[in-house]
Amino acid sequence: MKKKPLILVTNDDGITAPGLRTLIRIMKKIGEVVVVAPDKPQSAMGHAITVNSTLYCTPYNTGETHKEFSCSGTPADCVKLAVREILPRTPDICVSGINHGSNSSINVIYSGTMSAAVEAGIEGIPAIGFSLCDYSWDANFEPVESLVETITREALANGIPKGVVLNVNFPDLPDSGIKGIKVCRQAKANWVEEFDKRTNPMGKDYYWLTGKFVNLDKGEDTDEWALEHGYASVVPVQFDLTAHHSIQDLNTWNLND
């Protein structure tokens, strides 16, 4: 019999998040699970890492057979610590999530969930970030469980292309409401921020960041289109950020006169 795959599970909502608990349960059907997750919510942390302060990493006892560790750092820190200090060998796959809230389109760049997956990808480990388009703590993950399992098993069977990690988002739909899975490109959509300016009890102004998501990209090959039309979206994400198509253009500039 083939050896069970070693699966690193992490997230950005913190080790107590129901989305993480769901992901652990699914992954235990597929392989040997080790969890290294932040000890507190780390949403919107982007690809932050901890370089100027210390990191704590403590066993987290759930009474179950698999091992869990709670880490004081960011999602990217969790992956680095797991790979270098905690896991007995390089994991066969790293899964992050299931995030409470969307990481589609431009949100991938702010996402702690995806930063963990990207960090694993940089380390050469196949990686997937999963997100459900429901921000509530008591979101219902049940309708997406079999899809998470299918995508993970396919990734293990086929291998994820080198230099690529998967960004998977699920629409917030009831059982049997999800029509299928679509491979997509990231929609060219973004947030239009509005700052809610207030005055604190000491008379000093402060702001809350708010905003609305605006999608002007009408393409039917985008993650936003898929999600709006009842499909789960799978976007291959790369971490070589070079805009190769612009190099020729920039070489026409007078930079070396």
Residue 176 binding a copy of itself, by CB under 8 A: no
Q: Contacts with a copy of itself in 203-222 (CB under 8 A)?
A: 204-209
**Measured from the CB of residue 253, what is the shortest distance to a copy of itself in angstroms?**
5
Closer residue to a copy of itself in complex, CB, 138/249 = 249
Q: Contacts with a copy of itself in 1-40 (CB under 8 A)?
A: none
Q: How far apart are CA 99 and CA 145, in angstroms?
A: 13
Q: How far apart are CA 147 and CA 152, in angstroms?
A: 8
Closer residue to a copy of itself in complex, CB, 64/207 = 207
Residue 156 binding a copy of itself, by CB under 8 A: no
Interaction pattern, residues 68-107, with a copy of itself; x per rule: CB under 8 A:
--------xx--xx-xxx--------------------x-
Q: How far apart are CA 7 and CA 127, in angstroms?
A: 10
Residue 61 binding a copy of itself, by CB under 8 A: no
Residue 41 binding a copy of itself, by CB under 8 A: yes
Interface size with a copy of itself, residues (CB under 8 A): 80
- Short-list 79, 236, 111, CA closest to 166: 236
**Measured from the CB of residue 25, what is the shortest distance to a copy of itself in angstroms?**
21
Q: How far apart are CA 95 and CA 9, in angstroms?
A: 5
Q: How far apart are CA 130 and CA 166, in angstroms?
A: 8
Residue 137 binding a copy of itself, by CB under 8 A: no
Closer residue to a copy of itself in complex, CB, 6/106 = 106
Among 64, 137, 146, 183, binds a copy of itself (CB under 8 A): 183
Measured N-to-C along each axis, helices 18-28 and 145-158 cross at an angle, to the nearest 10 degrees, of: 50
Say whether 115 sits in a helix, a strand or coil: helix
**Measured from the CB of residue 4, what is the shortest distance to a copy of itself in angstroms?**
21
Residue 149 burial (10 A CB sphere; 0-12, 13-18, 19+): middle
Residue 130 tokens, joined: 């999963």
